[in-house]
Amino acid sequence: MKQRRTTLLAMAGLLAAGLTTIPAAPAGAEETELLKNGTFDATADPWWANGVTADLADGRLCADVPGGTANTWDAGIGQNNVALVKGESYRFSFYADGTPDGHKVRAIVGLSAAPYDTYFEVTPQLSVSGNSYAYTFTSPVDTPQGQVAFQLGGSPDAWRFCMDDASLLGGVPPEAYEPDTGPRVRVNQVGYLPDGPKKATLVTDKRTKLRWQVNNADGTVAARGQTVPRGIDPSSGQNVHTIDFGALRKPGQGFTLSADGQHSRPFDIGTAAYEKLSVDAAKYYYTQRSGIAIRDELRPGYGRPAGHLDAAPNQGDRAVPCQPGVCDYTLDVTGGWYDAGDHGKYVVNGGIATWELLSTYERSLHARTGQPARLGDGTLAVPESGNGVPDVLDETRWELDFLLKMQVPEGQPLAGMAHHKIHDEKWTGLPLLPSADAQKRELHAPSTAATLNLAATAAQAARLYRPYDPAFAAKALQAARKAWVGALAHPEMYASASDGIGGGAYADDNVSDEFYWAAAELYLTTGEKTFEDSVLDSPVHRPDIFGPLGYDWSRTAAAARLDLATVPSRLPDRREVRWSVINGADRYLATLKAHPYGIPYAPDGNRYDWGSNHQILHNAVVIATAYDITGASKYRDAAVQSMDYILGRNALNMSYVTGYGEANSHNQHARWYAHQLDPSQPNPPVGTLAGGPNSSIQDPFVQGKLQGCTGQFCYIDDIQSWSTNEHTVNWNSALVRMTSFVADQGCAPRCRATR
Ligand code: 9MR
């Protein structure tokens, strides 16, 4: 060990008393070094080397790394038999240098045996002069088979890596983490509609009402009033007041709201931001496309080679085999959207996202404020723009073609069913361009849920594409019918909850809602009696389905109910269906009114769910649909107001949409928008929604920082936090759906006459 110039790079920025509860280190816990011989003074034992030539140089362990390996884990050094204790915090630190400058090391703490899970990882960029690195994380597991590894592969060129002072210290206190929440006046940092509601939340210790004022951009006063004290908000644990400045209707930019000596982040009053956001949110899908090169002129900064077309190092999606024992054929499953920050493609999740984009379009055809031109041909800058087809249908077609390819072919025992998913054999690290993924791709077993998902979306597609591409519409309807028959023949084939290696499990063992949804879409497209009967006989047709959490990929009954309520049909109880949506909306409206942050979301036990942001948006969609049904302004206002939380009126004082709002999420967990790890990559595109607060904090990064977090605080905008900060196709579709509704309100109450 030597003295050298070092910069301590700690992961957490601000160390101070946390807003979240930080548990004390267990009484009597002592700091214990878990690594043997981290200083390399005389020997390299017991460190192993894999794919590199290691040597001791100047008291450091060095490795000559060959160029041309495909994966980070193809070359590296490490140490096994590290015992990790679940819930215990560890300080992982080391010195490292790399020659020449700019190479990266993926430093992990994980499992030394299959399935080689990673519990903590970082990928710092190294310099010739060297740095010291230190991180704190909490182990999510108990294992005697832990491993510390420094993965060095994946570079086209040879380089030299050296390290020293490697340490994994157990018994350390969890890192105190305090988010930078800025001014205590919380507003929608993007904008309020001129004729819409304008609410804000003030965090303060004061119990009595306070004066507020809205300031114009030039500092003059635009409006004044008094706050309403609301007491302690359970979703944040804060004492709060609410502010209503709805009387201010004058459009403008750069307003701020002041109260209790604090000045909010700036906001606009106008519709322009929503018109842009509804388009940006839909443009997100093009850069998620698999199997096609992304053209830089269409998305400056996001151009990249096609992924998974069998060009090395990809093993490709052109002829994908099943997992061993599942099937003996291969399928061409090229195309579609990557699910999220990973390279997997999952029918149930792609399906609900497809439905939501199609429903955004379908709403524009039927709703009183619908404006189909907003996502029409030429609006989204996709390769198909200019083909006379609405761009939103072009984008969704990319996924639909993939979904159809996931159907089991004729002649096979499960013909008509859909494979649940296709993804890598093993999880890959970050960052990793789709074209650089060298993993084997595998089809997983067909499932009833995926099959019904395909039936629903293909049936919906059949009615919407008919005017533009009747042949595709007919093909989609035929596939939907086959899927329906396949699901009826195999009504209980469930994806396994343990099938989560290399891709998400997306397990769902209740498919009564998927049967309902598929029947509903087939009925709305064909009007046929058999599907009408299946709708009316469904056990989920009559019960209340609008629970606190909001619908999602596994709870799809709302997709059926909302479409049955709004797409014209002769369903005998259509009136009751419409009332059921209104009743659901009334409850969400009551939740929103009672909530001092104005959120239509109050999950049981204040437990924010995985992807809470999209669930909040989905509850808002139900309210918005009640407006479309009734025209009652209370629903329109509440739906519009729900956007405030997403765009900054929240405990963290941040917008969860990349590029929107002064402080916004932009480090979402992503393999090819991984700017936080690789400065040569971009951040996610503007208009990308982060998953949002998740009380279960499943990933080790937040486990080390957010133990005991309260609702809204269970979130960090860091690329390592896959459980609070990923982006996904099924979350952005909720953003598309709601921002499209809000953008359409610029001409409320009735736009159709003006079209
Ligand atoms: O959003 C999904 C969540 O509802 C599930 O509980 C979880 C486990 O199956 O998976 C989440 O989805 C992730 C998927 O598994 C893999 N791609 C990224 C998804 C978002 O984090």
pLDDT (tens digit, 9 = 90+) per residue, 278-332? 999 999 999 999 999 999 999 999 999 999 999 999 999 999 999 999 999 999 9
pLDDT at 176: 80
Q: What is the mean pLDDT of residues 616-642?
A: 98
Ligand 1 pocket mutation pick from 290, 337, 342 by most atoms within 8 angstroms of CB:
342
pLDDT at 29: 65
Q: For ligand 1, atom 14, which residue shows the shortest CA distance?
A: 504
For residue 480, name the pLDDT band (cuts at 50, 70, 90). Answer: very high
What is the 504 CA–ligand 1 centroid distance (Å)? 6
For residue 722, give the ligand 1 atom closest to its CA.
Answer: 21
Q: Model-level pTM?
A: 0.87
> Which has more pLDDT, 553 or 102?
553
Q: What is the mean pLDDT of residues 215-226?
A: 98
pLDDT at 3 over 50: no
Neighbours of 388 (CB within 10 A): 9
Residue 314 near residue 320, CB atoms below 8 Å: no
Give residues with Cβ within 8 angstroms of 67, minimum separation 6. 155, 156, 157, 158, 159
- The share of the chain scoring above pLDDT 70, in percent, equals 95
pLDDT at 56: 96
Give residues with Cβ within 8 angstroms of 364, minimum separation 6. 370, 371, 372, 374, 375, 740, 744
For residue 503, give the ligand 1 atom closest to its CA.
Answer: 16
If we measure between CA atoms, which residue out of 578, 608, 463, 605 comes closest to residue 521?
A: 463
For residue 341, give the ligand 1 atom closest to its CA.
Answer: 18
Ligand 1 pocket mutation pick from 339, 672, 701 by most atoms within 8 angstroms of CB:
339
Angle at the Cα of 672 (from 108 to 649), degrees rounded to 5? 95
| Four-way CATH pick for 176-270+573-755: 1.20.970.10, 1.20.1250.20, 3.30.530.20, 1.50.10.10 | 1.50.10.10
pLDDT at 747: 63
Domain borders along the chain are: 32-170, 176-270+573-755, 284-477+489-507
What is the 115 CA–ligand 1 centroid distance (Å)? 18
Q: What homologous superfamily is domain 32-170 in, according to CATH?
A: Galactose-binding domain-like (2.60.120.260)
Amino acid (1-letter code) at residue 130: G
Same fold for the domain at 32-170 and the one at 284-477+489-507?
Answer: no
Ligand 1 pocket, Cβ-based, cut-off 6 angstroms: 339-340, 342, 344, 504-506, 610-611, 722, 726, 728
Give residues with Cβ within 8 angstroms of 496, minimum separation 6. 505, 507
Buried b (16+ CB within 10 A) or exposed e, 119-143: bbbbbbebbeebbbbebbbbbbeeb
For residue 137, name the pLDDT band (cuts at 50, 70, 90). Answer: confident
Active site residues: 342, 669, 717, 726
pLDDT at 15: 26
For residue 497, give the ligand 1 atom closest to its CA.
Answer: 9
What is the 507 CA–ligand 1 centroid distance (Å)? 10
Mean pLDDT of the chain: 93
Q: For ligand 1, atom 19, which residue shows the shortest CA distance?
A: 340
Ligand 1 pocket mutation pick from 349, 427, 725 by most atoms within 8 angstroms of CB:
349
Ligand 1 pocket mutation pick from 339, 501, 506 by most atoms within 8 angstroms of CB:
506
Q: For ligand 1, atom 5, which residue shows the shortest CA distance?
A: 506
| Four-way CATH pick for 284-477+489-507: 1.10.287.90, 1.10.3720.10, 1.50.10.10, 3.40.50.10860 | 1.50.10.10
Q: What is the mean pLDDT of residues 340-347?
A: 98
Q: What is the mean pLDDT of residues 548-573?
A: 97
Tell me the C-alpha to C-alpha distance, in Å, between residue 334 and each of 305, 388, 421, 447, 717. Answer: 14, 25, 12, 20, 32
pLDDT at 368: 94
Tell me the C-alpha distance between 721 and 427, whole Å. Answer: 15
What is the 318 CA–ligand 1 centroid distance (Å)? 25
Note the residue count of the chain. Answer: 755
Q: For ligand 1, atom 12, which residue shows the shortest CA distance?
A: 504
Q: Could you give the residue ranges of the DSSP H alpha helices within 337-390?
A: 347-366
Q: For ligand 1, atom 4, which residue shows the shortest CA distance?
A: 610
For residue 504, give the ligand 1 atom closest to its CA.
Answer: 15
pLDDT at 624 over 90: yes
Q: What is the mean pLDDT of residues 718-734?
A: 97
Tell me the C-alpha to C-alpha distance, in Å, between residue 207 and each of 212, 424, 704. Answer: 15, 55, 34
What is the 553 CA–ligand 1 centroid distance (Å)? 10
For residue 339, give the ligand 1 atom closest to its CA.
Answer: 17
Q: For ligand 1, atom 15, which residue shows the shortest CA distance?
A: 504
pLDDT at 748: 55
pLDDT tens, residue by residue, 565-594: 999 999 999 999 999 999 999 999 999 999
DSSP letter at 436? G
What is the 340 CA–ligand 1 centroid distance (Å)? 9
What is the 45 CA–ligand 1 centroid distance (Å)? 40
pLDDT tens, residue by residue, 99-131: 999 899 999 999 999 888 888 888 888 999 999
Angle at the Cα of 424 (from 418 to 427), degrees rounded to 5? 130
For residue 609, give the ligand 1 atom closest to its CA.
Answer: 4
Residue 439 near residue 428, CB atoms below 8 Å: yes
What is the 499 CA–ligand 1 centroid distance (Å)? 12
pLDDT at 10 over 60: no
- State residue 207 phi and psi, 5-degree precision: -105, -15
Residue 351 near residue 456, CB atoms below 8 Å: yes
What is the 259 CA–ligand 1 centroid distance (Å)? 40
pLDDT at 32 over 80: yes
Number of H helices, E strands in the chain: 13, 29
For residue 166, name the pLDDT band (cuts at 50, 70, 90). Answer: very high
